[in-house]
Structure 1
Amino acid sequence: MKVLAVSVGTARPLPWHGRTLLSGIRKTPVDGPVEVTPLGLVGDEQGDRKHHGGPDKAVLLYPAEHYAAWVPLLGPLAQPAFGENLTTTGLLESDVVVRSIYAIGTVVLQVTQPRRPCYRLAAHHDVEDLAVRTQRSGRTGFYCRVLSPGHLAAGDPIELRMRPQHGPTVAEALRARSDNRDSRLYGASPDTAKESR
């Protein structure tokens, strides 16, 4: 298990349905160690602090293994194409158990929940129903809280510190939290969509 890219982004204008949103989904890989605090990576921002970020969604991980599956729809992709902070290898939603603890560099993270993408992901790639497609595919990535702040960098190994003996995987938690009514909102306008990035 390894970190392939560490990325941050400032909140910038993002056009969507004739209006302009603020979003930090357009991230850029960072060279060298990055400081990680209980609220996330230093230099990373969220445009909608009500639904994005916070201690339980401080760091977003996305498996690099998923990139190839998106090429037919989105074309060649450069990391981080999905607004993730950490692009990883070896950590899939079907294997990662919620509440598992991982060490990366001098940072300790705990898995909290699957990502439930909203219209910002669709706007980022200019694909109207991309949030719905991502949700249904199960290739969503997942959030972590920061148990121990520190520094991490691209190339760092990911060490499993604790895996609960009982509990859902990220994929199981995603299925349990999803229903058709919510899924219809993922591609909606900012006035109706309520889910997080």
Structure 2
Amino acid sequence: MIDDEALVRQLFQTNPEQGCSWLFRRYHAPLCNHALRFVYTREVAEDIVGEVFCNFWTERAFERITTSYRAYLFKAVRNRAYNYLRWEFARRGDELDTAGSFPDGASAALKDTDPTSPADALQFDELYATINQTIADLPPQCRRVFLMSRFEQKPYRDIADELGISVKAVEANVSRALTTLRRVLKNGFLAFLFFLSMY
């Protein structure tokens, strides 16, 4: 019985377009779920995966792959998710943008190149885990408001209307979440911002 890698390699040898189409159908959903581990919102995850497949085809990356196609795609999605997070942290700093759409120019910040050395990636993963745990430990409403603002990029007014609270309450919850993150991360957050500024 032929395995996925052998099948897709045969497809690329005879018809690269069919090979790309097969990879998209086979891995789109798993790759979106993988990206969601990092970026919190399905819209952004789908954009990241779409960018990976677009570059995979337009730059003919399939001609240069020496590992498995699956491994390449998962690594490319992970790297783009890292770069998206770096772009978001650098763009926002301590301020939360209240725009309600996927940021213009984000695609330009998403590159296929490996953004970190193994040591840097480990440090990033540890900090990412700390951020995740800190957010998870917030009071439920504070966490919901923060995620809606920070990761879903919803305006304060939309959050207030959806949750049935005042805009002032939204502002207070976002401020509380940021204060908690600053306190927990301290120098780690500053080190992360410094790390972002290097790229």
TM range (shorter): under 0.3
> Scaled by the length of structure 1, what TM-score is found?
0.24
Bigger fraction of residues in helix: 2
**Which structure would you say has the larger RCO, counting Cα contacts within 8 Å and 6 or more residues apart?**
1
The TM-score with structure 2 as length reference comes to: 0.24
